Structure 1
Amino acid sequence: MTTSFIDSARQAIAIQREAIDALANRIDDTFSKACEVIMSCSGRVVVTGMGKSGHIGKKIAATLASTGTPSFFVHPGEASHGDLGMITGQDVVLAISNSGKTSEVLTILPLLKRMGAPLISMTGDAESVLAQEAVVNLDVSVPREACPLNLAPTSSTTATLVMGDALAVALLEARGFSAEDFAFSHPGGSLGRRLLLRVSDIMHTGDRIPRVSTDTLLSGALLEISRKGLGMTTVVDDNGMIVGIFTDGDLRRTLDRNIDVRVTPISEVMTAGGRSIYDDQLAAEALKLMDEVKINALPVLNREGRLVGAINMHDLLRAGVI
Structure 2
Amino acid sequence: MADFDYIASARRTISMERDAVDSLLQRLAAPFSIACDTLLACRGRVVVTGMGKSGHVGRKLAATLASTGTPAFFVHPGEASHGDMGMITAEDVVIALSNSGNTAEVVTLLPLIKRLGAPLISLTGNAESTLAQAAVANLDTGVEQEACPLNLAPTSSTTTALVMGDALAIALLEARGFSAEDFAFSHPGGSLGRRLLLLVDDIMHSGDSMPLVKPEVPLRDALLEMTRKGLGLTGIQDEQGALVGIFTDGDLRRTLDQNLDFQSVRIGELMTRGCKTARAGMLAAEALKIMEDARINGLFVVDSTGRPVGALNMHDLLRAGVV
Where does 1:259-278 land on structure 2 (aligned, <5 Å)? 259-278=260-279
Paired with 1:268 and 1:18, the residues of 2 have a C-alpha distance of 66
Q: Which amino acid aligns with 2:174?
A: E
Work out the percentage of aligned pairs sharing the same amino acid.
Answer: 66
Matches within 5 A, 1:197-212: 197-212=198-213
Unaligned runs of 5+ in 2: none
Which residues in structure 2 correspond to 1:150-299 (within 5 Å)? 150-187=151-188, 192-299=193-300
**Deviation digits for residues 175-218 of structure 1 (CA, Å, limit 9, x no counterpart):** 33344443443445666555444322321111211112344443
Is 1:280–1:302's contact at 8 Å kept on the other side of the alignment? Answer: no
Distance 1:318 1:218 in 2: 30
CA RMSD of aligned residues (A): 2.5
Distance 2:127 2:61 in 1: 21
Residues 243 and 128 from structure 1, CA distance in 2 versus in 1: closer, same or farther, beyond 3 angstroms?
A: closer
Contact kept? 2:49, 2:58, Cα under 8 Å: yes
Aligned to 2:39: 38
Q: Which residue identity lines up with residue 6 of structure 1 in the other structure?
A: I
Deviates more, 1:24-33 or 1:56-65: 24-33
Distance 2:23 2:265 in 1: 77
**Amino acid corresponding to residue 80 of structure 2 in structure 1:** A
Which position in structure 1 is the counterpart of 2:104? Answer: 103
Provide the C-alpha distance between the structure 2 equivalents of 1:133 and 1:257, rounded to a whole number of angstroms: 82
Is 1:93 the equivalent of 2:94? yes
> Aligned letter for 2:100?
S
**Residue 122 (structure 1) shift:** 1.6
Output one character per residue of 1:223-245: Cα deviation in whole Å (capped at 9) or x when no partner.
22112110111122333222332
Q: Report the 3-state secondary structure (helix = DSSP H, G, I; strand = E; otherwise coil) of the residue aligned with 2:300.
A: strand
Answer yes or no: is the 8 Å Cα contact 2:242–2:305 preserved in 1: no
C-alpha distance in structure 1 between counterparts of 2:155 and 2:136, whole Å = 27
Aligned to 1:27: 28
Distance 2:149 2:183 in 1: 40
Structure 1, gaps ≥5 residues long: none
Specify the alignment match of 1:10 in structure 2. Answer: 11
Write the distance in 1 (CA, Å) between the matches of 2:20 and 2:304. 56
Seen in structure 2, the aligned counterparts of structure 1 residues 119 and 248 have a Cα distance that, compared at 3 Å, is: same
Deviations 1:275-318 (Å, cap 9, x if unpaired)? 32222334334333333443321121111111101011111222
Amino acid across the alignment from 2:123: M
Task: Tell me the secondary structure at the aligned position of residue 5 of structure 2.
Answer: helix
Structure 2 Cα separation of the partners of residues 145 and 285 of structure 1: 46
SS of the counterpart of 1:150? coil
**Secondary structure of 2:112's aligned partner:** helix
- Which AA in structure 2 matches 1:317? L
Aligned residue for 1:271, secondary structure, equals: coil
Asked whether the 8 Å contact 1:237–1:243 carries over to 2, the reply is yes
Of 157-166 and 63-72, the range deviating more from structure 2: 63-72
- Given the alignment of the two structures, is residue 70 of structure 1 paired with residue 71 of structure 2, yes or no? yes
- 1:260 is displaced (CA, Å) by 3.9
Amino acid at match of 1:248: D
SS in 2 for 1:19: helix
d(CA) in 2 for partners of 1:275, 1:172: 34
Structure 1 residue 262: deviation in Å?
A: 4.1
Contact 1:242–1:273 (CA under 8 A) maintained in structure 2: no
Matches of 1:186 and 1:65 in 2, distance apart?
11
Cα distance in structure 2, aligned partners of 1:285 and 1:122: 40
Q: Which residue identity is paired with 1:24? A: L
TM (norm. structure 2) is 0.88
State the distance in 2 between where 1:55 and 1:302 align. 50
Q: What SS does the aligned partner of 1:46 have? A: strand
- 3-state DSSP of counterpart to 1:317: helix
What's the CA shift string for 1:142-172, capped at 9, x where partnerless? 2221111111111111121122122223323
Distance 1:296 1:57 in 2: 45
**Superposed displacement of residue 47, structure 1:** 0.5
Structure 1, 161-170 or 192-201: larger mean CA deviation: 192-201
Aligned residues, how many?
A: 322
